[in-house]
Amino acid sequence: MTNDDIIALADRYLFPTYARAPLALVRGEGARVWDADGRSYLDFFSSTVVTNLGHRHPALVQAITEQAQRILHVSNLHYCEPQARLAEKLVKRSFADRVFLCNSGAEANEAAIKLARKHGHAVGDGRYEIVTTFNSFHGRTLATIAATGQEKVRTGFEPVQQGFRYAPYDDAGAIEAALTPRTIAVMVEPIQGEGGIVAPAPEYFRDLRALCDRHDLLLIFDEIQTGMGRTGTLFAYEQCGITPDIMTLAKGLGGGVPIGAMLAAKPAAAAFDSGSHGSTFGGNALTCAAGLAVMETLESEGVLANCLAMGERLRAGLQQLAATHPIIEAVRGRGLLVGAVLREAGAAIVDRCRTNGLIINCTAGNVLRLTPPLTVSGAEVDEALAIIDRVLAA
């Protein structure tokens, strides 16, 4: 089938819930993908910040293949070796005591919300409200759109679920002012991805940790985008100088296979008991084998060091472009979660980059989001910068 054939078929039968680019991708390798007409592109979006190891990484392909030859799925009413091993690895590599495995970032955040509320009941005071931040993004389910601090995400789905309050990002004082006697938790992203690649001041998270300790609140880190090496450490909280009580993961955890995780430390972790929560496919044998391969590869092949080095190279290159292209107002981000802030809307530039063989994304209306695989090479970073240079000069 050609690009046009696939596009026509999808447009005929799928709900039009995505603003799709006119591109049907059929193959990938490393940081490069090919469309159905045989044209290649540099993927500097990592298919929505998912393919952290690049496309068709040998270790991931091998793990999936070997697991598929053994068993694909085990009911959560029985035990599953890859699930147990992945949970062990996540706990030993983090602050957490327990893990709940699911299928997506939204499901991981749902689990975190439920755990926080269950904890409020378990400690006997029934607190249930969660404070989140403006311009945050936490998912598309009814609870996670209510948690999301963007009104456009909630529009049309009213009445929105109660129990969420919003405060400005990077302002611990504003968070404290938003607290009520019903508040049980604060939920934040270490870097706001959909909000425009916004990183707060270094003291922000230390202040939040102190605030939560002072008011007996849970601190929830949504690391759906920042986790799994994207910022140069396995988890972004490792760079914040504090530990949260609950953390959510997805996207890069499976390297392209759908999996999410909610991690928690005691005492919050004790709130979930038998029957508290569940998921038919959560912790599936195949996806957990993929997650294990991703974690092992991230920490054994110099991927995190490469992420830091290539992130510096990419940001430095964008800064050089800003000197000759005034449309670039600022460059920000950490590791390979990079944003180029424009002085105008960025959608047309994204389209022109794609026409020139580079896939990127625009978030918050005017921020070019560049998130190549953590395995990207220096030559590929330079190639992407050259394409952006040509596009901005045109």
188 forms beta bridges with: 221
Q: 290 and 254 in contact (C-beta within 8 Å)?
A: yes
Domain containing residue 9: CATH number: 3.90.1150.10
Percentage of the residues of the chain whose pLDDT score is greater than 70? 100
**Domain's final residue, options 244, 267, 300:** 300
- Whether 331 and 296 share a structural domain: no
Regarding whether 294 and 231 lie in a shared domain, the answer is yes
Residue 96 has pLDDT above 90, yes or no: yes
* Burial class for 236, CB neighbours closer than 10 Å (0-12, 13-18, 19+): buried
Q: For residue 41, what are the contacts with CB-CB under 8 A and spacing of at least 6? A: 23, 32, 33, 34, 35, 354, 357, 358, 359
Of 300, 319, 341, the domain-final residue: 300
Give residue-wise pLDDT tens across range 194-242.
999 999 999 999 999 999 999 999 999 999 999 999 999 999 999 999 9
Q: What is the C-alpha separation between 46 and 337, in angstroms, rounded?
A: 11
Would 136 be classed as within a structural domain?
A: yes
Does one domain contain both 105 and 252? yes
Could you report the per-residue pLDDT of 247-284, keeping only the tens digit for each? 999 999 999 999 999 999 999 999 999 999 999 999 99
Q: Which domain holds residue 75?
A: 71-300
Collapsing DSSP states into helix, strand and coil, what is residue 201? coil
271 and 147: one domain? yes
What is the band of 102 on the pLDDT scale with cuts at 50, 70, 90? Answer: very high
For residue 360, name the pLDDT band (cuts at 50, 70, 90). Answer: very high
Does 44 share its domain with 99?
no
Look at residues 390, 261, 378, 242 and name the one whose alpha carbon lies nearest to residue 311: 378
Q: Taking the model in full, what pTM does it have?
A: 0.97
Q: Are residues 165 and 265 in the same domain?
A: yes
Could you tell me if residue 164 is inside a domain? yes
Does 110 lie in the same domain as 180?
yes
Dist. CA 353–CA 390, nearest whole Å: 9
Report the range of poorest mean pLDDT among 27-31, 35-39, 120-124, 324-328.
120-124
Mean pLDDT of the chain: 97
List b or e across 250-285, with b for residues whose CB sees 16 or more CB atoms inside 10 angstroms. Answer: bbbbbbbbbbbbbbbbeebbebbeeeebebebbbbb
Q: For helices 303-324 and 285-300, what crossing angle results, to 10°?
A: 70
What local confidence, expressed as pLDDT, does residue 16 receive?
97
Cβ burial of 230 (10 Å; 0-12, 13-18, 19+) is buried
Q: Six-digit token pair at 319?
A: 């800064």
Tokens standing for 237?
Answer: 């909280």
Residue 63 inside a domain? The answer is no
Domain match, 269 and 380 both? no
- As annotated, the active-site residues are 137, 222, 251
Structure tokens at 156: 């049309």
Number of domains in the chain: 2
Last residue of a domain, one of 256, 272, 300: 300
Asked whether residue 92 is assigned to any structural domain, the reply reads yes
Predicted pLDDT of residue 275: 94
Does the pLDDT at position 124 exceed 90? no
Give, as one character, the DSSP assignment of residue 260: E
- Separation of CA 114 from chain center: 20
- Same domain for 86 and 199: yes
- Count other Cβ atoms within 10 Å, centred on residue 9: 12
65 is a domain residue: no
Chain-centroid distance of CA 66 in Å reads: 27
H-type alpha helices, the chain: 3-13, 46-49, 58-68, 81-92, 105-122, 142-147, 151-154, 172-178, 203-215, 285-300, 303-324, 347-355, 378-393
List strands edge to edge, sheet with 337-342: 328-334, 337-342, 367-370, 361-363
Residue that is written with structure tokens 């800003």 in the block = 322
Same domain? 307 vs 274? no
pLDDT of res. 125: 86
Residue 180 has pLDDT above 90, yes or no: yes
Residue 54 binned pLDDT confidence (cut-offs 50, 70, 90): very high
Q: Which residues pair with 363 in a beta bridge?
A: 367
* pLDDT tens digits along 67-76: 999 999 999 9
Domain-located, residue 171: yes
In a domain, 174, yes or no: yes
Is residue 64 assigned to a domain? Answer: no
Do 257 and 327 belong together in one domain?
A: no
CATH, residue 285: 3.40.640.10
Q: Are residues 95 and 197 in the same domain?
A: yes
Question: Is residue 119 within 8 Å of 218, Cβ to Cβ?
Answer: yes
